[in-house]
Structure 1
């Protein structure tokens, strides 16, 4: 992951969807017949000028306060508290100064604010601190695994889960085990760290299906890097993205065990529907087929349940391991391509074609002869829907996000040789009685809005301009909203801007 990349609030659903701060389960349709295709900006606030100033937000309906991660460079790490009674006139009313390293994620439930905080040394155990939303006093601090990167309450409020990424040190001499902390709120915040060591014997079979395991001298458990968690509406099952490993893991919360790892495979850009622009030096934006595969590598994940099936929505940002001892990304022009697989290699490796595209050297040379017969780039420039029971791919947005961003004038061609729009955040909510997904794109500074009433056939509705590098994508239901209308809150990392949107109709 990007060290300062912290992710949006997760969505939960039963028949209708809700965010983790919308604990009514989405079963009460908002009044007024809102039109989810008419979201428009109604408020904005800037809480800092440097990177990291506005990363993740969470909302407490009881106090009508917005809590925002603020890791602005050169300032103490803190949680800013915003008066949100009138979203068009937001003001910062308090700051909670935190202890340790950066605050990575926030979640609210029943008057409690839980913060995931990494250690000053990222390879050491991090912690969760729980505060009262009413007066900001500390309730409890609980140790977690290394680098807790995302946090969420279960819908019933009985558990707090964190995805502990366990990133290695720059020289790879310290590589903590990746884990998920399960904290029992009712049992004095007792904690169990769940890792993935039990799957080590299945490594070869999982890699054949697309799991990536390649850390320097790392055990299987050390190489797994949990990124983001979503929880079923009955609070029994959690799914966690293993971004660098290109997989989704499934966890039984009651038994506190990982039960499955679903490798996600690869996306074929040599299909018309997946046509993309893979060069920033080709004189413009042009979507074409290319002999390249994308590694899904999802960041955020949200679950929407319908007719007994858990549908998992992932945003397939992609990520690169970049350390002093292991710097993964290479450009295609710097690889030796197998002439049998790429008879036109010299043409493909020109900058205006595939030469500048970043790919991994850890896939594509199956016979280890130094010649690459396949090319694998980071991310899939899309969002996808997977069956949460067995990991089957049900839908992928193909090239639609990039086409829509380009049509709106938001596509950044300077990122074509990397990961394109970089879909990073997702949340799900009930708007006007319909299940709606909001997909944040870091490099296009935009959020796409989709109707997911038919879970495996998302329907594009609109695209919204955001601040610079949206990180947090938070939905507040009409029932919990101070305006009694649905709200979308987007926090942007690079400019410290928080924007609020609501349906006009």
Structure 2
């Protein structure tokens, strides 16, 4: 199907009238929002009105979306092809691919990691091959896809964002190590002046100033734990959010469980702020820790703490204050997983920090996992792990014996990091115990006072200093397990039937409970009238949650839409045309005044189904 690059005014006007008539017909006070966007809704509901499918499953063929109002085009990262797919969105109910941006002419063998758009200027983050080499950021014209310029940035440029005035592009250079951990580039943030797109200039904010401060930062709660890595090597910028005045940026250091606070004008990281831990032993912070009982067993677990480790973050303002919204996905370092030499005991060939609780606290030690999934760095510390009975007595732990804590229907299946929670001396070295649970310099056991899981299974709001002002607690898992939650485009599938399901398989009730639950990953915000809403994508369970975050200390969940239709076919790729959207990765809010049909929209890139969904906001006044 061919379509003109620019739609006619008549076609757009007709589409807007049809959309308006459909909304009015719904009744119940639901009307199309005014074009000026100044009226404040009392409610919001998501509705899927269109989408585009690459026809590719499980290969990240639709990840990060961005939208240009002038050309009415959507730009979607297709990681499988290493490019950006360009969609005509002039009729939101029928997006059509009209082109693509391929970056191999800039760097041979390169792939695209992220895209951002501002007033017709498209910025693309380009990863080199190998990924440990410096990447590029390229600028294109949205209306004809012409390459304007490109500049060199740091290793593995990932997420990028324009400042509100469109004069600067910030890019998070993640600097991940090679899979065998032989090369570990420094992470950094590039600040690109694009006032003259044909002649952009680059400054780089590095983390080198924090080298030598690792002990102090660790004491503050910042995770610096890569083998032999300096702070600058260990920090891996994941996502950037900019203040409304364009002066400050907050950078999520996901694996480090921290924010970096950046002075944009100075191109300088001012502070590293640890985000702390979530106490899953407290009421309101419950979680489901097991994937074997095939039910939602959401309860408190004293001694278990969650590391927030946000992926996507976004900013908004209330009065003169800026707040940061985070999707607390969690992410383990896992390099060398496919390297047999690493699992055979060669610690120089990788680094994997994830381990199951049941293997960590086996009273016979963890030697039985050697050659299978035992990280050699862990094995070098001791021969086994113990649970502190004063903390874990509730599930039967006594000196030298984990009791029922190790059972599959208790904590046994939970994946945690072995790098934290064990008792150390003032120098950071492990304090050893014997197999009977007594402190013993000649012993060979670690004593775990706490167990640290990945992610908060939540959404948080933080102030400018990086202090948490609100967290959704256990709300997401409890909602997914409730009678209130309904999935499917028609909202007729009980979510609890597929609670914490996996996005790549069918009939996977409870599958992700031992990992990171529903995995909130993507987040974007949109302001309508005097209200601000956060849209949160749940990577594993799927779907998008909507929160009214106007009051940062008391957000309210407003809606949830999960358009997955087929939850039982073992291999969803065989029913891709009817399966629905799987694995939301990136989200982009389109306000009414920029929207092709005059209604606020939300674009969602779904990496597993390879689909871009167009959701419309139905507003109640």
Aligned partners of 1:209 and 1:264 also within 8 Å = no
From 266, 275, 296, give the equivalent of 1:285: 296
Aligned partners of 1:29 and 1:431 also within 8 Å = no
Matching of residues 251-262 of structure 1 within 5 Å = 251-262=262-273
Partner of 2:415: 358
Q: TM-score, normalised by structure 1?
A: 0.91
After superposition, what is the alpha-carbon deviation per residue over 1:433-484, rounded to whole angstroms, capped at 9, x for unaligned? 4211101110111111011111221111010114111001110000100111
How far apart in 1 are the matches of 2:55 and 2:203?
36
Matched, 1:64 2:78: no
- 1:209 deviates by 2.6
Matched, 1:448 2:553: no
Aligned length: 474
- 1:45 deviates by 1.7
Q: TM-score, normalised by structure 2?
A: 0.74
Matching of residues 262-411 of structure 1 within 5 Å = 262-291=273-302, 292-324=304-336, 325-335=350-360, 336-341=385-390, 342-343=392-393, 344=396, 345-367=402-424, 368=430, 369=432, 370-388=446-464, 390-407=465-482, 408=485, 409=495, 411=499
Aligned partners of 1:35 and 1:431 also within 8 Å = no
Q: Where in structure 1 do 4 or more consecutive aligned residues deviate above 6 Å?
A: none
Matched, 1:86 2:111: no
Comparing 89-98 and 261-270, the one that deviates more: 89-98
Give 3-state SS (helix, strand or coil) of 1:204's partner: helix
Partner of 1:430: 527
From 236, 242, 256, give the equivalent of 1:245: 256
Aligned partners of 2:41 and 2:531 also within 8 Å = no
- 1:117 deviates by 1.1
- 1:503 deviates by 2.6
How far apart in 2 are the matches of 1:310 and 1:439?
19
Larger Rg: 2
* Structure 1 unpaired stretches of 5+: 1-27
Aligned partners of 1:30 and 1:485 also within 8 Å = no
Distance 1:32 1:40, change over 3 A: farther
From 463, 483, 487, give the equivalent of 2:597: 483
Partner of 2:506: none
- 1:33 deviates by 5.7
- 1:304 deviates by 1.0
- 1:497 deviates by 1.2
Matching of residues 147-166 of structure 1 within 5 Å = 147-166=156-175
Distance 1:33 1:294, change over 3 A: closer
- 1:136 deviates by 0.6
Give 3-state SS (helix, strand or coil) of 1:127's partner: strand
Comparing 345-354 and 175-184, the one that deviates more: 345-354
Aligned partners of 1:448 and 1:462 also within 8 Å = yes
Give 3-state SS (helix, strand or coil) of 1:162's partner: strand
How far apart in 2 are the matches of 1:118 and 1:347?
47
Aligned partners of 1:231 and 1:239 also within 8 Å = yes
Higher relative contact order, structure no. (Cα contacts within 8 Å, ≥ 6 residues apart):
1
How far apart in 1 are the matches of 2:128 and 2:617?
40
From 242, 259, 284, give the equivalent of 1:231: 242
After superposition, what is the alpha-carbon deviation per residue over 1:261-298, rounded to whole angstroms, capped at 9, x for unaligned? 11011000001101110100124111111120000111
After superposition, what is the alpha-carbon deviation per residue over 1:27-80, rounded to whole angstroms, capped at 9, x for unaligned? x951676554222111122123132111011000000011111122xxx42211
After superposition, what is the alpha-carbon deviation per residue over 1:176-220, rounded to whole angstroms, capped at 9, x for unaligned? 000001001126211112111212343323222321001111111
How far apart in 1 are the matches of 2:213 and 2:449?
26
* Structure 2 unpaired stretches of 5+: 1-34, 337-349, 361-384, 397-401, 425-429, 433-445, 486-494, 501-509, 564-580
After superposition, what is the alpha-carbon deviation per residue over 1:75-97, rounded to whole angstroms, capped at 9, x for unaligned? x4221111101100111111222
